[in-house]
Amino acid sequence: MKVVLFCGGQGMRLRGYSDEVPKPMVPVGDRPVLWHVMKYYAQYGHTDFILALGYRANAIKDFFLNYEEAVSNDFVLRKGGREKELLASDIDDWTITFVDTGMHAEIGQRLNRVREHLDGEEMFLANYADGVTDLDLSGYVEAFEASGRTAGLLAVRPPQSYHVVTMCDGEPKKIGPIADADLWLNGGYFVFRPQIFDYLDRHEDLADGAFREMIEHDDLYAHRFDGFWSPMDTFKDKKHLDSIYETGNVPWLLHKNGH
């Protein structure tokens, strides 16, 4: 299946980086977080990508136009460095379509603007370009397909560092870890059928527009997931992902974990 990745946001909460690079290009380890998301999909055999670009699109284009495989793959140098033999490859079998979807477009608009590149797809995947997970993607897609619905999203737990306050008549009655509350977030990792565009003809935004109408028609599937999922919305999130990467046990890079 083709994979649409929304790469157009400005990353306002990562200002230390996004003044210079778009959020999908902020590094985790030695590669941008966008690469990590794409690598995750490629591990499940989904290597046909459509990048819906916007803010600082040229930075993303330049990264792939000048891609250096040796950064994340083993290789052999010979003849004083004049010859290089790669022992593995990241993106040799990837197809990447770059589409400028506008600087200030909503997610639904970005998806509509890549519609022509999805002709003939019975189902396709889509995602934000800055969240990583160890989700069993194949099992999720099978469950979505069996649901018969038009769209599916990953429902995940909120970040653990927050506490929930229960109020009654303006007074706090209870406080506890957010993990103990029955709260779920939209974690992305969407699966769509082409009928999603019927909704997007009426709504510019995905979550606040199309999804709300789909819920009214019982046409949205939510896949609850308690495993590893982490966004990269803030500098704190980035440091968290960097610390995981430095351990060498990287949940979202299945090839590094013997899968």
The domain that contains 148 carries what CATH number?
3.90.550.10
Total domains in the chain come to 1
- Torsion sign across C-alpha atoms 20, 67, 126, 36: negative
Q: Give residue 158's pLDDT band: very low, low, confident or very high (50, 70, 90).
A: confident
Mean local confidence (pLDDT), 173-178: 75
% of residues, the chain, pLDDT over 70: 92
Q: Give residue 15's pLDDT band: very low, low, confident or very high (50, 70, 90).
A: low
The whole domain housing 223 covers 2-155+184-257
Place of tokens 């565009």: 197
Q: Report yes or no on 173 lying in a domain.
A: no
For 221, what's the count of Cα atoms within 13 Å in the CB-facing half-sphere? 21
Residue predicted with more confidence, 176 or 56: 56
The residue type found at 23 is K
Q: Report yes or no on 212 lying in a domain.
A: yes
Q: Report yes or no on 179 lying in a domain.
A: no
pLDDT of 177 strictly over 90:
no
Element (H, E) at 141: helix 137-147
Residue 47 has phi, psi (to 5 degrees) of -120, 10
pLDDT tens-digit map of 35-83: 999 999 999 999 999 999 998 899 999 999 988 887 877 789 888 778 8
Classify strands 220-225 and 151-156 as parallel, antiparallel or unpaired.
parallel
Q: Report yes or no on 246 lying in a domain.
A: yes
Tokens of 128: 């934000």
Whole-angstrom distance between the N-terminal and C-terminal Cα of the chain?
21
Mean local confidence (pLDDT), 226-238: 88
Closest CA to 195 of 99, 117, 118: 118
Cβ-count burial of 139 within 10 angstroms (0-12 exposed, 13-18 middle, 19+ buried)?
A: exposed
Q: Give residue 10's pLDDT band: very low, low, confident or very high (50, 70, 90).
A: low
Q: Report yes or no on 138 lying in a domain.
A: yes
Q: Report yes or no on 235 lying in a domain.
A: yes
Mean per-residue pLDDT over the chain, rounded? 88
Lowest mean pLDDT among 80-84, 175-179, 254-258: 254-258
What is d(CA 207, CA 227) in angstroms, rounded to the nearest whole number?
23
Q: Model's pTM, two decimal places?
A: 0.88
Place of tokens 């406080």: 175
Q: Give residue 155's pLDDT band: very low, low, confident or very high (50, 70, 90).
A: very high
Residues with Cβ within 8 Å of residue 191, at least 6 apart in sequence: 123, 124, 125, 126, 140, 141, 144, 151, 152, 221
- Torsion sign across C-alpha atoms 77, 34, 113, 150: positive
The residue type found at 70 is A
Q: Report yes or no on 86 lying in a domain.
A: yes
| Residues constituting the chain | 259
Q: Give residue 104's pLDDT band: very low, low, confident or very high (50, 70, 90).
A: confident
Closest CA to 213 of 221, 222, 229, 202: 202
Q: Report yes or no on 161 lying in a domain.
A: no
